[in-house]
Structures are given as C-alpha cells and as structure tokens.
Structure 1
Amino acid sequence: MEKGGLGFRDLKQFNLALLAKQLWRLIHFPSSLLARILKSRYYRNANPLEVEKSNNPSYGWTSIMSAKNLLKTGHRRSIGSGDTTFLWKDSSIPANPPRPPIDCGVYRDPLLLVSHLLDPVSKEWRDSIEWKRF
C-alpha cells in the first residue's frame, strides 16, 4: 500500500468473488430484473447452480458460470419448513463442502422432501414413515 493502489492481491480471484456474488444474487433475488432476464434465457426450469450447458451463451453468462464451483463450495441450503428442500438432492448437511445425505443402499425416492419427515402438527421428526405414501 506504500506505493498506492487499492490493495488487491490477486485480481483474478477478486473478479471471481464478484462473479460468485452476482450468481448468489440471482439465487436469492429471483424477482430482480437481471434474474428474470437470465432465467428466461438460460435456466427456465432450474436453478442457476444446476445449469450445465447453454446454447450460445453470452460473455456475461459464461463469466458468471465460471464462479459456480466457488459458490457451490460454500453454499448450502437452509431447510426452513422443508417444503422446497429435496432430501437426497439438496446440499443441506454442513460438511466441507456442503453435501446431501448419503443413502444406505435402500430404495430412495428422489422427490422426497424434508417436510415429509416432519409431523405437520407437532413439528417433530416422525419416528416412522409410510414410504409407499410418498
């Protein structure tokens, strides 16, 4: 800092962090103008973290997607009521990196929500689950 400057040590890492912040904003503010425009073009029926390929992506979208792995390393899902959290798919376990649960080889329903494991009245975990019902 003696010779001036902003004090950034690695501009590439700084740029990647800013791109990850933009991606985070797309996820947490889906009604923003930018999120609605990008959603209509690149991830209509998905989450921006789930996008694998895009047809003829813009330079901006390609740049934002370059930060996806950085965001995934620190991003985990907050369960809340469990109505929108898939048990076997969403990374909600606070490991490093966050991960979904690991099954024990028994049949697992890929569409099972965390809310199915909670009793809606008592808000307690259910002792047993009628798996056929889900």
Structure 2
Amino acid sequence: MAKMGFPSKWRGWISECVSSATASVLVNGSPTNEFHFQRALRQGDPLSPFLFLLAVESLNVMMNAAINTSVYSGYPMNFHKSMLVGINVAESWLVDASLVLNCKIGQAPFVYLGLPIGGNPRRLSFWQSVVERIRKREYGGLGVKRIREFNLALLGKWWWRLLVDQRGLWFKVLVARYGFDGGRVQSGGRLASQWWRDLLFVKEGGGLGVGNWVDEMVVKAFGNGESTLFWFDSWLDGGPLCNRFRRIFYLYVDKNVSVAEMYMLGWGVEGEEWRWRRRLFAWEEDQVRECSAILANFVLLDNASDKWIWRSNIKEGFTV
C-alpha cells in the first residue's frame, strides 16, 4: 500500500483492522481463550473485497511493466488489408464506419482464414476452394491428411503392438480379461469394453470396405518356426491356412501347433504330425495333398528367429 501511494495514517487504520480482531474456538464444547489473528482476514470480513483490489492492482502493474519492456505487444491491424462487412445494417452506416476505420467495404460471401463465409454450404462450388487447398501436395495443395483414415491408422498401431510387444503389462491384462487362443486375444463378446470393440472394428477395416487388413498386410517371416502358429499365422502367401483349408483345419486335433512342430514330424501327406479327429473322406484327403504340395519346398532356418513384418515397410514395420 505504501508503494501505491497510501498515506501512513490510512495504512495504520487498515493494519489495526486486520490485527486487532480476536476470536476463540470450541474445544470439546468449551470456548478457548481469545487470540489475535496473525494473517489474512476473517471469513465474511467487510475488508475482503479490498484484498481482491490489491491483487488485481498488482496484476495490472505487472502487465504494464511487461508491455513497457516489450514482453507483450498488441496485434497491429493492417486496415489496408481489412474490410468491413455489414449484416442487416444500413449502407450509410457502413460508409461512415469505413471512413472512421480507414478500411474498405466488403460484401458476402467472402473468404476468411481460407474458408468461404456467407455462401451456401450445400452447394459443391462453396467448398471447391477448400478442396483445392487440402488436396495432395503433388497436385499443388497443402497435403492435409484425411482425418478418418489417419485416426484408423493410429488405432492400427495397437494391433501391431499386440503382435510384436506381448511382454507388456497391458497385453497381459487383455489376455487375462478376454482370453488368448490361436495366437490372438479373443473378442470378449458382450463383456468387451468399448475401447476393445473399437479396435476390433478397426481390424475389420473400420467401415472403409478394405477387409481384414491386419491379416492381409501383416505376415510372419519364419525362421526356425518355433513362435509361428501353423494354422493361424500368415506365414505363407494367401493368408492363414485356417482360412484356405477350412475343412481339414476343423478336423485337425491340435489347432495351436507351431510350424516347427509340424516340420519336425513331417508335413507331407503321410507325415506323423497330421492328427485327425476321424478318418478323412476322399475329398478331404485331396485338401491335405494340396496343402502338403504348398509346404513341400519350404525349409526352416535353425539359427533365425520368427518375426512379424509389415508388407508395405518390411524394414521398419508398421508406422504412422
């Protein structure tokens, strides 16, 4: 208050009002001896608004100091590039106002921040300028991403992590809640959270009509075959074998068998690893021979580990 110019007598009055007040409190139903307040004001004190004025005045002083030292500065208006547009106002008023502001008079529709203002948004011509600006860079635009596809790609990173980062706590939580079978976390049915349902929706294409892009674009590059599931993983061209040979997959006993186990016992037509729930019909044996023909030329690499790869970027994997 002294720095703000208040005289000593006034400051003494305020100090007396603040320091002379006394109060007592009830302890076990009995009042204590009265004591003087040492700091601040009592609740509901008439001087409380005075503290607000002091704080606001301090803020005003700091703002003025920042402006004087050029820490803050206002936005300089360029009236030569500005225009005054009137909506339901008299033309004479616009003329007088434009003379005072020293700017020109504009009419709707006009462009503000690159967007048309005042036109009919239901007409295609209204949005043509916007489309021209956000088209791909190779066509002279700004290269703005398509929001829906970009968000789906960001959510797709979770599917990639479900394959390559199965040691994390978050993955263990999903497995504990929804179960794990066929090398994948299960859908969870009605008990699934909305977040998990959204991820399942993304896996199926997110409504873009691209199909199950995870199985189509994410494949397993096999080495020794120990961590690659024979039926469920996409380790051959054409997708998982469980989809290509549905009948014999249904009849096979151990559906979670690895590629290494199948290779060790032989995956030819007479291989020991082919174990069926019943005797096969002739047409089912034809499927086994077709599958064995596909596998005939494959050789596993004992010193190499299996790994997931993204077809579009084999070196770095799935990135956004």
TM-score (normalised: structure 1) = 0.64
What is the distance in 2 between the residues matched to 1:93 and 1:133? 21
Deviation, 1:25, is 0.4
Structure 1 moving runs of 4+ over 4 Å: 1-6, 47-50, 105-108, 125-128, 131-134
Number of aligned pairs? 125
- The aligned counterpart of 2:240 is 99
Secondary structure (helix, strand or coil) at the match of 1:77 reads strand
Distance change (3 Å), C-alpha of 1:47 and 1:40? farther
Paired AA for residue 82 in structure 1: G
Partner of 1:130: 272
Q: Distance in 2 between matches of 1:13 and 1:116?
A: 40
- Which of the pair is proportionally richer in strand? 2
Residue pairs, 1:53-72, within 5 angstroms: 53-69=188-204, 70-72=213-215
Q: Which residue of 2 aligns with 1:20?
A: 156
Q: Secondary structure at the match of 1:60?
A: helix
Verify the 8 A CA contact 1:79 1:92 in the aligned structure 2. Answer: yes
In the alignment, structure 2 segments of 5+ residues that lack a partner are: 1-131, 135-140, 205-212, 277-320
Deviations along 1:1-27, one digit per CA (max 9) or x if unpaired, are: 96798721x211111111111111022
Partners of 2:182 and 2:263 lie apart in 1 by 25
Q: Is the 8 A contact 1:20 1:67 kept in 2?
A: yes
**TM-score relative to the length of structure 2:** 0.31
Q: How does 1:1-134 map to 2 (within 5 A)?
A: 7-8=144-145, 10-42=146-178, 44-46=179-181, 49=184, 51-69=186-204, 70-95=213-238, 98-100=239-241, 102=244, 109-111=252-254, 112-119=257-264, 129-131=271-273
Higher RCO structure (Cα 8 Å, ≥6 apart): 1
Query: Aligned pair in 2 of structure 1 residues 20, 49: CA closer, same or farther (>3 Å)?
Result: farther
* C-alpha spacing 1:35/1:94, structure 2 compared with 1 (3 Å): same
Q: Flag the structure with larger Rg.
A: 2
Distance in 2 (alpha carbons) for counterparts of 1:113 and 1:94: 17
Question: Residues 99 and 55 from structure 1, CA distance in 2 versus in 1: closer, same or farther, beyond 3 angstroms?
Answer: same
Q: Which amino acid aligns with 2:181?
A: A
**Alpha-carbon distance in structure 2 between the residues aligned to 1:48 and 1:118:** 19
Q: What is the CA-CA distance between 1:50 and the residue it aligns to?
A: 5.8
